């Protein structure tokens, strides 16, 4: 099923995206998604990480090595997040 975006672009409803946590980085660091898409964060590091966006009240809890956590944005805007355990790690979702 296709949904027509306000800007006239056509997007498939409910797309899936993957952010890999590897080498103490979120890859990709910035990702464009739509409201209702699914973003799966996959931890490929040997240590746990989190996806934490305090302003938007997003908290994954600890994602262990070889585990994942899924997030579905429900509002437009930018979700800037960090790893609470390693605050030098950061990323953002731009939600359209």
CATH of the domain at 82: 2.60.40.420
- The first and second tokens of residue 25, run together, are 């980085």
| Global confidence as pTM | 0.85
- The first and second tokens of residue 46, run together, are 């040997």
Length of the chain: 96
pLDDT at position 30 is: 98
Residue 75 forms part of a structural domain: yes
Assess contact for 74 and 53: CB atoms under 8 A.
no
List, for residues 25-54, the tens digit of each pLDDT value: 999 999 999 999 999 999 999 999 999 999
d(CA 76, CA 41): 19
pLDDT at position 14 is: 86
Domains identified in the chain, total number: 1
pLDDT at position 1 is: 30
H or E stretch at 3: strand 2-4
What is the arithmetic mean of pLDDT over 59-83? 97
- Does pLDDT of 86 surpass 50? yes
């Amino acid at each position: 099923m296709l949904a027509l975006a306000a800007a006239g672009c056509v997007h498939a409803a409910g797309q899936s995206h993957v952010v890999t946590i590897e080498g103490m980085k979120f890859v990709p660091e910035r990702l464009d998604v739509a409201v209702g898409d699914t973003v799966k964060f996959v931890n490929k590091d040997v240590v746990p990480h989190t996806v934490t966006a305090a302003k938007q009240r997003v908290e994954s809890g600890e994602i262990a090595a070889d585990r994942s956590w899924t997030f579905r944005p429900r509002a437009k805007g930018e979700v800037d997040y960090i790893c609470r355990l390693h605050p030098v790690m950061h990323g953002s979702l731009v939600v359209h």
